[in-house]
Structure 1
Amino acid sequence: MTKILAGFFLTGALLSAGPYTKQDRIKDMQTMASAMQEIQTGFFYNNFDMIKEGTAKLSDTIVKIQPPLEEVEEKDVMTRYVNRKVQMSNKIKKKVNRKAKDLIERFKEGDAVEALQAYTKITKYCMECHTQLRNW
């Protein structure tokens, strides 16, 4: 009985979740910008908790980032192959998550310089996404 109820609940949750819209992306980008500011402030105040919270917020939010629906549903195979925006988005998300973990580890070990370099790499990946995928 509980498996059936869980199945109904899961099905309902999946059906109620709409496509990832431009508004969703804007909200997520604002959250990530706020997370990056929190990390930077943590560096300025030498506050590990701020850095940890900022990287957690960044990692939690970047998982939700998806390519626009029109890119995912592109019918033309050649256009999909040339654009490769879906693959690039996923690759950048992995890089950011990896560097966020590295940033936490380095700062926790007392190596603020290496942690700051990881932060700079994350910023580089953000700009890479914005210039190549979002056509800035």
Structure 2
Amino acid sequence: MLHQARISIVDDNEAFRESLRKLVTLLGYTVEAFPSAADFLASRLLPETDCLVADVHMPVMTGVELHRHLVDAGHAIPTILITAYPDEVVRDRALKDGVVCYLSKPVDDEHLERCLRSALQSGTPIEDRS
């Protein structure tokens, strides 16, 4: 099934970013990948992004800060956060702030796919079960 949606991935870990890019592409989405929040924010593709998948822990601007920056700037992009260091306080705050999903690495492919569908359909947060 092909989707017209554009997914932007922001993760400073090149190996993970490329792996995630390949997975999301295989799911049928158009995917762009960025090594930092600054690169994403400077991209001409920002307004064309239908869903953002960002790492929580990145230098300079974290995924949580990127989401907040986008909301404050008027860009209502449904966001999925991924982390290798899950933290319940950060998770709860992010979900209350409108993040659709907060996933732990390694990411379960099927859970990510459900999160992407949810983000693109309604942007309604779903519970993290990973």
Query: TM-score, with normalisation over the residues of structure 1?
Result: 0.28
Larger helix proportion of the pair: 1
Q: Which structure has greater strand proportion?
A: 2
Larger radius of gyration: 1
TM-score (norm 2): 0.29
